[in-house]
Amino acid sequence: MKCITNKVREELSKGNIGSDTSCPYHPSHYRGQNCSFCYCPFYPCNDDDFGVLKITKKGDRKVWDCSLCHFIHRNDVVEYIFKRVEELGIVEPEDPQFSGIFKEAKERFFKKGKAIMVLGATSDAGKSIIVTAICRMLNNMGYSVTPFKSQNMSLNSRATRTGEEISMIQDLQCKAAGIKSPSYHVNPILLKPKGDCISQVIAEGVPYGDYDVKGYYSDFVPNKGTDIVKRNVDFLKNRYDFVVMEGAGSPAEINIYEMDIANMRAAEMADANCILVINMEWGGSFAYALGTIELLKEKDRKRVKGIIFNNLYGKIGGLREGTNKIEKMLGIPVLGIVPHLDIKLPKEDSECFRDVDSVGNGKKVISVIKLPRIANFTDVDPLLLEDVTIRYVKRPEELQGSDAIIIPGTKNTLSDLNWMKVAGLDKAVMSYKGKIPIMGICGGYQIMGRKLLDPNGIEDADFPNSDGLGLLDIVSIWSEYKKRTIQQHGKFILTGENVTGYELHMGNSTVNEKPLFRIESFAAGDFDEGAIRQDEMLFGTYLHGIFEKPAFRKYFMSLMSNEDDIKLTKCIDYEENIDLNIDKLVKGFEKAINMNLFKKLFIEDKK
């Protein structure tokens, strides 16, 4: 506490410094935050709107935890504090008048943020990408912004800094919003399909249980889901100027209307103004627009303030005739017709699940085994920055001509290993041993091992004891129903360069191989991760996202290049590339949208 007092004294003497981009920790919360008070002069405010009293890890005492509060980083708050400090002639941080300033500041500046919700007429309407664009656009205007999707069904997820699991796309939207460390609040319900219409429900970042469709709507939604959505959207509204929400599928699924906490119920809880997005690619977009809005209940219909026709291939031509008619019929303005934009951002439903056999058209062919329950398949996306074609392989003969093989993650390692054996892919992959690089990630890493043991049927009761491909001497065992979700950073041992990634898995492995990475961990101490057999070009790791930083990607690509026949100059950081594409997206979006109307309807205060 003494230390904090000294820091605050220092901060008071420096005055309002705005955003400190030279600080190595910047931005601690979000891009554009005011950094004048790195240490809060009001700490501990003990106000429930800003933090919670938490028991320490050791359990010996209680501390005030306000790590997710941004109030002190608002420009208006900082300006006000300095104004009052000067007026009252305060110099000492311990001055009791600070509690008065806190009350005044809260009174003036603490207000709930606005919610904007992007609804889609269908799945794949372009909701995620438009939320991404709006997040970056508002952040560029100087607002604090967060994305939010109450309920997301996706197999691509990420671990937050504190080890909760959220969907990959909300993590990406947080990047667009300039948020440093996303928390589980941005996606409090994640549904991970396990097959046979059953999904694993991840609630507030933690596995909660398995549900079928009927059970989800009759049990989870009324008993737990509704409260979760309310609680989390409130949390975010208390902390950001804008909460940009994403719906799921169509809001006009009239058979589950009142139970649908992903769309209009969430909009109602957040008091959001909504935009309806329609994908024009398949045609029928006028019918989708009119039908969707007219099937909404009246109280919900009033929330829809604008319509965006999205993803137009070709010219606008006579389409305005149609959009004008829709505007007239519904009395809701069309904000614009957005053309198909050539943006390279990860997609929720990756090509992998469509009938796409390959992506990219580079020189080197990397074959990814298309496991039936493939998960976190966006892991391979950064490879497309290189001169690479990614081929999704389901049969042994499709491996011909590969320059490398990747066995990706899966929602069910044991049953997918069995699928590989039935398809003859186990032997086929093994026949490439030593000839080309073979890499396993997460479930794929476990598959490459010697033994996979599931004595209690936690992963799959049908396969208590399986032989893996035996490419690496590791033994994996599922001994308890526990999931490891954690972000990691460390070094690629061969070169000493930095790598980052995240673990999301059930089951653990005993590794009898040279390690691939050295993980640096403050909490657990440094430790070895992964496996490498350099001579045979065999690699395995639990780290998702391992190709994002250039270090390992560059090495992996170099193994495929004989006599420098491919250029490796493009080894840029994948995150930087994502950032460039978000900026490109915003430009395209702003060009296509009537921005004055957008600002009038969604940003300006009407009061």
Residues that bind other proteins (CB under 8 A): 120-124, 197, 213-214, 249-250, 252-256, 282-292, 294-295, 314-315, 317-319, 321-322, 325-326, 354-355
- Residue 254 Cβ vs other proteins, minimum distance, rounded to whole Å: 4
| Distance, CA of 461 to CA of 428 (rounded, Å) | 26
- Cβ nearer to other proteins, comparing 122 with 140: 122
Query: Is the alpha carbon torsion for 219, 349, 242, 50 positive or negative?
Result: positive
| Distance, CA of 341 to CA of 132 (rounded, Å) | 14
User: Which is catalytic among the residues 45, 135, 174, 442?
Assistant: 442
How many Cβ atoms sit within 10 Å of the Cβ of residue 434?
13
| Alpha-carbon distances, residue 65 vs 1, 50, 101, 455, 594 (angstroms) | 14, 9, 21, 41, 42
- Residue 454 Cβ vs other proteins, minimum distance, rounded to whole Å: 28
- Residue 300 Cβ vs other proteins, minimum distance, rounded to whole Å: 13
- Residue 188 Cβ vs other proteins, minimum distance, rounded to whole Å: 21
| Distance, CA of 155 to CA of 410 (rounded, Å) | 9
- Cβ nearer to other proteins, comparing 55 with 356: 356
| Distance, CA of 392 to CA of 395 (rounded, Å) | 10
- Cβ nearer to other proteins, comparing 250 with 413: 250
| Distance, CA of 541 to CA of 59 (rounded, Å) | 34
- Cβ nearer to other proteins, comparing 32 with 120: 120
- Cβ nearer to other proteins, comparing 121 with 201: 121
Amino acid at 296: L
Task: Look up residue 183 and give its two tokens.
Answer: 């928390």
User: Which is catalytic among the residues 29, 70, 185, 544?
Assistant: 544
- Residue 596 Cβ vs other proteins, minimum distance, rounded to whole Å: 25
Burial letters 140-170, b for 16+ CB under 10 A, else e: eeebbbbbbbbbbbbbbbbbbeebbbbbbbb
- Radius of gyration, alpha carbons of the chain: 26
Between helix 127-140 and helix 574-592 the angle, nearest 10°, is 90
Backbone φ and ψ for 136, nearest 5 degrees, come out as -65, -40
- Residue 219 Cβ vs other proteins, minimum distance, rounded to whole Å: 15
- Cβ nearer to other proteins, comparing 249 with 382: 249
Q: How far apart are the first and last CA of the chain?
A: 42
- Cβ nearer to other proteins, comparing 198 with 603: 198
- Cβ nearer to other proteins, comparing 184 with 309: 309
Task: Look up residue 428 and give its two tokens.
Answer: 């086929």
Task: Look up residue 171 and give its two tokens.
Answer: 């993590």
- Cβ nearer to other proteins, comparing 213 with 430: 213
- Give the residue among 324, 270, 275, 255 at the shortest CA–CA distance from 120: 275
- Residue 148 Cβ vs other proteins, minimum distance, rounded to whole Å: 20
β-strand partners of 544: 502
- Residue 283 Cβ vs other proteins, minimum distance, rounded to whole Å: 4
| Distance, CA of 21 to CA of 38 (rounded, Å) | 13
- Cβ nearer to other proteins, comparing 18 with 195: 195
Task: Say whether 367 sits in a helix, a strand or coil.
Answer: strand
- Residue 417 Cβ vs other proteins, minimum distance, rounded to whole Å: 24
| Distance, CA of 8 to CA of 24 (rounded, Å) | 19
Q: In the annotation, is 442 catalytic?
A: yes
- Cβ nearer to other proteins, comparing 218 with 431: 218
Place of tokens 């496991």: 371
- Give the residue among 89, 469, 504, 30 at the shortest CA–CA distance from 236: 30
- Residue 189 Cβ vs other proteins, minimum distance, rounded to whole Å: 18
389-392: long-range contacts, CB 8 A cutoff, minimum separation 24: 389/358, 389/359, 389/360, 389/361, 389/362, 389/363, 389/364, 389/365, 390/358, 390/359, 390/360, 390/366, 391/357, 391/358, 391/365, 391/366, 391/367, 392/352, 392/356, 392/357, 392/358, 392/367, 392/368
- Residue 155 Cβ vs other proteins, minimum distance, rounded to whole Å: 16
Active site members: 442, 544
